[in-house]
Amino acid sequence: MTRSQRTAAFIASRLASVMLTIAGATLLLFLMVRLVPGDFTSVMLGPRATPVLRAQITHDMGLDRSMVEQLWLFASRAATGNFGEDVVSHRPILDIVLDVVPNTLALAFSALALAMVVGIPIGVIAALKPGSWLDSGLALLSISFITTPTLVVSVILFLIFAIGLHWLPVAGAGNPGDIADRLQHLVLPSVALALGWVGYISRLVRAALLDTLAELHVRTLRAYGVSEYRIVGLYALKLALVPVVSILGIGLGDLIGSSVVVEIIFARPGIGSLIFNSIAQRNYPVVQACIVFIVAFYIVANLVVDMINAGLDPRIAAGRG
C-alpha cells in the first residue's frame, strides 16, 4: 500500500469506530435518562395538572409506549436528525440546539486556540532550561492557572474588565451579524475558559519535551551542530506534541463542561446554558438532544485529534504507533 492509501484506510477505520461509539453512547444515554426518578409529566406540569392533560402529554411524548418502542423511535428519529418538538416552546428541538451550537463552538475553539498559542511557548521556554528560576516561575504560574477554578476566574474577569473598567461587554453573545461586537463578547469568556488550559498545556508540553530531549536522535542533531533552539522548538517539539494532542482530545469533554459555567456567568446563549435551563425546567427531551450533540462533538473532535497525530507522527498512520 502506498502512504496515501494507508492514510485513507486509517481514516475509514476510525470513521467506522466513530459511528459505533455514537450509537453506543446514545443507547446508554437513553437508558440513563429513563433512570431519573419521577415521571416527566408531573415534574413538567406541576402537582395540580388534570389527568386528561397528563394523559395528553404522556401520549404526545410517547411515554405510553413500551421502552423498546421508545428506544426505536428515539434512535431512528435521532439518526435522521429529528429530535421531535419541544413541549414548552413548540419549536423543533433540533432548531433550538442548532441555534446555540455556533456560540458554544466559537467559545470552545477560541479558548482552545488561545490556550495553545500561549501554553505551548510557555512549555517550550520552561523546557529550554529545566531547573532554572524561569522554569520554576513558569511552573508556579501554570499550576496556579490549573488550580484556580473556571468559576472564580470568570467572576474575577467579569468584575474587573466588564463591570469595573467597562472595557468589554457585560453579557450575551453580541448582535448577530456584527462580527466586531461578537468578537468583543467572546474575549472574556474565552480567556476565562482558556486560563486553566494554558497551565495544563504548558506543563504537558514541558514534560513531553524533556522526555523527547533525552532520546538518542536529539544527540545526533547536537553532534551535527544543530542549534538548541531548533532542536527544542522544531525537532523535539513535533514529537512531543503527539502525547499533548492526545491528552487535549480527552480533555475536550472537560472544556465543554467548563463552558456551562462560563456561559451562565456571562449570560451567553450556548449549549451549556441551554442544558442548565432545560434541567431547571425538567425539559428532558432537550437535555437528551444536547447531550447527543456533545457526545458527537467529543467523538468527532477526537477523530480530528487522531488525524492530527497521524499527521505529526507517520508511524501512527502506518499502524505502528
Per-position x/- string for 264-283, each x denoting binding to other proteins as judged by CB under 8 A, each - no binding: --------------------
Give the distance, in angstroms, between the CA of residue 107 and the centroid of all CA atoms in the same chain. Answer: 10
**Considering only residues 284-313, where is the footprint of other proteins by CB under 8 A?**
312-313
Which of 93-101, 106-114, 209-217, 265-273 is the region at the interface with other proteins (rule: CB under 8 A)?
Answer: 209-217
Nearer of residues 128 and 271 to other proteins, judged by Cβ: 128
Distance in angstroms (rounded) separating the CA atoms of residues 193 and 195: 6
Member of 2, 68, 225, 280 binding other proteins (CB under 8 A): 225
Q: Which of 28, 159, 219, 229 binds other proteins (CB under 8 A)?
A: 219
The contacts of residue 297 (CB under 8 Å, 6+ apart) are 105, 252, 256
**Rule CB under 8 A: is residue 319 a binding residue for other proteins?**
no
- CB nearer other proteins, residue 130 or residue 174: 130
Q: How far is CA 300 from CA 15, 16, 90, 116, in A?
A: 9, 12, 30, 19
Among 60, 99, 215, 254, binds other proteins (CB under 8 A): 215
Annotate 19-62 with DSSP letters as a single string: HHHHHHHHHHHHHHHHHSSS-HHHHHH-TT--HHHHHHHHHHTT
**Which residue from 226, 291, 305, 307 is in contact with other proteins, where contact means CB under 8 A?**
226
Q: Name the β-bridge partners of 85.
A: 92
Distance CA 110, CA 116 (A): 10
Choose which of 239, 245, 260, 261 interacts with other proteins (CB under 8 A): 239
Provide the b/e sequence for 19-28 (b: ≥16 CB within 10 Å). eebbeebbee
Q: Which residues pair with 92 in a beta bridge?
A: 85
Give the interface size with other proteins as a residue count (CB under 8 A).
Answer: 23
> Strands, DSSP E only, in 49-125?
none
Q: Which of these, 103, 144, 36, 44, lies nearest to 264 by C-alpha position?
A: 103
Taking CB under 8 A as the rule, does residue 129 contact other proteins?
no
Cβ-based nearer residue to other proteins, 37 or 133? 133
Site for other proteins in 133-162 (CB under 8 A): none
Q: Does 132 bind other proteins (CB under 8 A)?
A: no
Residue 289 burial class via C-beta count within 10 angstroms: exposed 0-12, middle 13-18, buried 19 and up: buried
Alpha-carbon distance of 72 to 220, in angstroms, equals 60
76 contact partners, CB below 8 Å, separation of at least 6: none
Residue 275 or 316 with smaller CB distance to other proteins:
316
**Closer CB to other proteins, residue 205 or residue 239?**
239
Binding-site member from 43, 221, 291, 303 for other proteins (CB under 8 A): 221
Rounded least distance, CB 315 to other proteins, Å: 5
- Residue pair 321/315 in contact by the 8 Å Cβ criterion: yes
Residue with smaller CB distance to other proteins, 77 or 315: 315
217 binds other proteins per the rule CB under 8 A = yes
* Part in contact with other proteins (CB under 8 A); list of ranges 9-17, 91-99, 162-170, 217-225: 217-225
**320 is a contact residue toward other proteins (CB under 8 A):** yes
From the CB of 312, what's the least distance to other proteins, in Å?
6
* Dist CA 273 CA 97 (whole Å): 11
Stretch that binds other proteins, among 6-14, 21-29, 182-190, 215-223 (CB under 8 A): 215-223
d(CA 124, CA 142): 13
In the complex, the residues that contact other proteins under the rule CB under 8 A are 215-226, 230, 235, 238-239, 242, 312-315, 318, 320
